[in-house]
Structure 1
Amino acid sequence: MSVVARLFLGHYHPQPLLGLARATVRPCRLPPTRFALHTTPSRPPSALIRRPAIVRHSTIDPAFLLAAVALSAGAAYVLKDLVVSPIGDKSNDSTTALPQHDQSFIDTMASPKLAPGRPGNLTPEQEQKLKEMWLAVLEVFGVATQSANGTTTPSPTRDGEDKKKKKSRLSLFGRKKDDSDDGDDKHGQKKEYHEALASQTPEQLRRCFWTFVKHDNPDAILLRFLRARKWDVQAAMVMMISTLHWRDQEMHVDDDIMLRGEGHALTACASSNAAEKKEGEDFMIQLRMGKSFLYGLDKDGRPCCYVRVRLHRQGEQSEKSLERVTVYTIETTRLLLKPNVDTATIVFDMTDFSMANMDYTPVKFMIKCFEANYPESLGSVLVYKSPWIFQGIWKIIRGWLDPVVAGKVHFVSGPDELSQFIPREQIITELGGENAFTYKYPEPAGKEDGKQEDTATRDALAAERVEISNEYEKTTLAWIQGDAQSSAAARQLLAERLAKNYWQADPYIRARSLYDRAGVIQAEGSIDAYALATKPTTVTESKESEKAVAPPAVQTTNDDVD
């Protein structure tokens, strides 16, 4: 089943669906509001039971050998015309050096196979788990209720019943003896989950969810959390609801960071309020110097985010501005993803790294983002030219990482090793490659966010989205109740309408970014991953801005890991 573009920044790759590779998922019919999934890890054969292959020698008949040689020669002659001819055709010669911005390369990279555990590529057991999670979600949102015999019915109303719904939601996933905080909940998501159910109404959580979906297939959102929690529905629910709480109540992702964006930060730089001015300047400094930026694709078609670690100094920017830029970059990367490419690659450029560049606080925040709030969004992490002093630092950081996330980290010493992940012709010259790209920041110009003032159009598109999401929920209930064939097709059409609605509303609800100005993000969600290097615009050179706006360095201590 084809799907619309889905959610950035994986949690448990590089091998897709690693949880299922290690666990056997069994479909189960659970009682109403019970969603625990029991899995039994499979274990590789012990070294003690591995036996070397037994090689048996035999005499070879010379006549048989001659016949085999003759057959091989004949096969080679036939294959010569099938294989050699196309390669000799210069028009199809893939070994020719690509230009810096080659559309055929982009098209090739954008069409990998759909990975397992995604919409359109689910096993029957996985689809059952998806249905169970949708039922749990719709119950928490006050959209569906379960009767005593386990049948599901639409909720008669959501108005005026918030207190009653809160009570039922708390009982739905209330704390039990096995639901206490433990070592597996290192980011405190169970606490956030219960806070969300206690402080937010069903309608508020529902609104947060459909805002979170954006241009993605709603199924893809739920499946990210299910894969991250190895298809344990209750654990996935805890993770997703806590993420909604984090987005809406803590980070204000959609009503502040993405809504106001770079234009607001630039305006804040001239504010008479010292604190507001500081936050605006800190935000813009990081964008202008190119501490991190998005450019190009890796060999799997994943968007690449480059982080130039040498440009960071502890204390130069506030912790709040560092977190805002991190979330801003992750959310922007989400817009570059596709249904069949739903993760991104981060390249940490450690060139000229020193202990003055090490800052554990933003590292911890980034880890929490990918492990807790953007699951299954990180495809790979490439650490480029790390010096020997980073070895001790890595031991500390590795201890904070989930083992699966740590398994995505690859250390590369130069362009040759980096070319195993990114085509050499697309590696930027700054990293020893052939692509002459140099980061330049396109400054906000004019009233680029002027459409946000058109509240009438914005509200009309918002009302249309509510109508589509309502219909999607009703169709999902029918799909859960067994009307699979007709409901599945209807749900796909509604998911496509949601994606189209988002891109129509995008200029009214999201501030323009440097990637919009450069033409990376285009109308209706079209993406040109290399446009940042090709579109002429008013720019700020990264090196010049680094010198012009960077405040004095702050003394740091090498053993400060808190």
Structure 2
Amino acid sequence: MEHENSRPAHSYPSEQQKRAADIWQAIFKLQTSFSEYLYTPMRPSEGEKQHQVSNGSETDIIGPPQPRNITTVLEELEISPKHIGSDESANLVSKIRRLLDNRSLTELIVNTAKHESPDSFVLRYFRARKWEIGRTLCMLIAALHWYHFEANVEGDILKNGEEVAIRDSEKGICLDPKLASDFMKQVRMGKSFLHGRDKDGRPIWYARVRLHRPSDQCNESIERYTLYLIENIRLMLTPSTETITIFYDMTGFSIANMDYNFVKFSTNIFEANYPEILGYILIHNAPWVFQGIWRLIRGWLDPVVANKVRFTTGRKGLEKFIAPENLVKELGGDDDWTYRYEEPISGENERLTDAATRDRLLLERETLTKQFVSISNAWLKALDHAELMSNRSIVIGQLRSNYAKLDPYIRSRSLYDRQGTLVIADVDLSTGNTDEKKASS
């Protein structure tokens, strides 16, 4: 039962190589074109000092080159008003301006991808937009802007984590006390948890729906909790397993547990900002009352996402997806494991204050990113060049290894680090050899 995304990121079949090349060509073109547009100074104004040279019978004014016309740039990239609509195009230009302020687009992609292959990361968006360049660039830019500015995933949710939420439940230094308290209430009760893998090696996100009541916590804390879980399970992905399984345990479900706002939020988040990360969505032991609810929810889902939903009942119904030894006992499996929250350990986040080591690793990452851009540009001119492909895979592996070292200096430790569940595999993508290292080590 092999999923189409469950293949090593460095060994795409030729068609996938071409797809990766197509989207990187567009990304590099966007970076170059917008850099020229944003940063090329205008010619001196008529009143400014200029000098003239004779050019045959005409006299030319010599000054800085004219910036590229923005309309031309947008049309070349298939993101002009005529391609995607005037409002969306104008909004996109504004987001690009903000994203490219002192950063390259590739740097943003590499840093957002974290331990994941940059190829795998961008191909998620390309695949979600049916291989259309313009629509893919729109989606990618919007997702990067959301990640870094709107949700502030790295600067807040990942950096502050559980330890700050526990502190601010009382002190409210960085987070509103109610937000922090409601967030930790959900973490501690185990409303959802990450544990084990399915038969295809996908990490599993269990959601015990009976424990959720919308009025028990503020909406913002539910959204924060969801992003916290998404980011933790993302770090459990490997080069050979690029998707996750979400398991909704509907045992004991009643109408009081239904939260339409959360369903809309999570649907939008996965479709717009984490595309193609879902392998299966298992809805287990759903009562008859859920049938009508499902008909409504299905209408909100992208057809591709809806087709990943499977309804299961009892242990036997799950055996197709999860081996009995990997299924927790409360669901009829043989895995004698129960969710239990482990409080943060004193000093576990000390490395977040080690700016010198963090900056050294970030500089190393920046250097590797430049190498990735350089070798990718060469590869784009010779897709079948074996040595270029090999060297490019090595750089991708080095980026992954770099993130494994960098992670504890930019991300607060979570329950899954303390449990040893969250492990970043340091993979040599040129050989496939794996050396698993705990991100917290």
Q: Say whether the fold is shared (TM-score over 0.5).
A: yes
Corresponding residue to 1:131 among 21, 25, 36: 21
Q: Secondary structure at the match of 1:441?
A: coil
Q: Secondary structure at the match of 1:387?
A: coil
Report the Cα offset of residue 339 of structure 1: 1.3
Contact 1:139/1:169 (8 A) holds in 2: no
Q: Secondary structure at the match of 1:440?
A: coil
Which structure would you say has the larger Rg? 1
Residues 85-107 of structure 1, C-alpha deviation per residue, up to 9 Å, x if partnerless?
xxxxxxxxxxxxxxxxxxxxxxx
Question: Within 1, Cα distance between the matches of 2:287 and 2:150?
Answer: 36
Change (3 A) 1:276 1:404: same
Residues 28-80 of structure 1, C-alpha deviation per residue, up to 9 Å, x if partnerless?
xxxxxxxxxxxxxxxxxxxxxxxxxxxxxxxxxxxxxxxxxxxxxxxxxxxxx
Q: Secondary structure at the match of 2:320?
A: coil
Q: How does 1:384-423 map to 2 (within 5 A)?
A: 384-423=284-323
Question: Within 2, Cα distance between the matches of 1:434 and 1:216?
Answer: 32
Query: Would you say 1:468 and 2:368 are equivalent positions?
Result: yes
Contact 1:290/1:439 (8 A) holds in 2: yes
Q: How does 1:403-552 map to 2 (within 5 A)?
A: 403-482=303-382, 484-522=385-423
Report the Cα offset of residue 417 of structure 1: 0.3
Q: How does 1:15-414 map to 2 (within 5 A)?
A: 16=4, 114=7, 118-123=9-14, 125-142=15-32, 160-161=39-40, 167=70, 170-171=74-75, 172-180=77-85, 193-201=92-100, 203-204=102-103, 206=105, 207-271=107-171, 276-414=176-314
Question: Within 2, Cα distance between the matches of 1:418 and 1:375?
Answer: 25
Unmatched runs of 5 consecutive residues or more in structure 1: 1-12, 18-112, 146-154, 182-187, 530-562
Unmatched runs of 5 consecutive residues or more in structure 2: 43-66, 427-434
Report the Cα offset of residue 197 of structure 1: 2.2
What amino acid does structure 1 have at the position aligned with 2:31?
F
Change (3 A) 1:507 1:166: farther
Identical-residue share of aligned pairs (%)? 39
Residues 341-395 of structure 1, C-alpha deviation per residue, up to 9 Å, x if partnerless?
1111111011111111001111111111221111111000111111111111101
Report the Cα offset of residue 160 of structure 1: 4.5
Contact 2:210/2:254 (8 A) holds in 1: yes
Contact 2:236/2:423 (8 A) holds in 1: no
Query: How many residues in Structure 1 have an aligned counterpart in Structure 2?
Result: 402
Question: Within 1, Cα distance between the matches of 2:358 and 2:37?
Answer: 24
Contact 2:3/2:279 (8 A) holds in 1: no
Question: Within 1, Cα distance between the matches of 2:190 and 2:369?
Answer: 38
- Quote the residue 2:48 is aligned against: none
Change (3 A) 1:272 1:337: closer
Report the Cα offset of residue 119 of structure 1: 3.7
Question: Within 2, Cα distance between the matches of 1:344 and 1:461?
Answer: 29
Contact 2:169/2:178 (8 A) holds in 1: yes
- Quote the residue 2:59 is aligned against: none
Report the Cα offset of residue 497 of structure 1: 0.9
Q: State the TM-score, normalized to the length of structure 1.
A: 0.66
Q: Secondary structure at the match of 1:372?
A: helix
Contact 1:14/1:380 (8 A) holds in 2: no
Question: Within 1, Cα distance between the matches of 2:16 and 2:315?
Answer: 40
Change (3 A) 1:407 1:354: same
Q: Secondary structure at the match of 2:246?
A: strand
Residues 176-224 of structure 1, C-alpha deviation per residue, up to 9 Å, x if partnerless?
434239xxxxxx9877634412443364462432211211111111211
Q: Secondary structure at the match of 2:253?
A: coil
Question: Within 1, Cα distance between the matches of 2:109 and 2:213?
Answer: 36
Contact 2:191/2:212 (8 A) holds in 1: yes
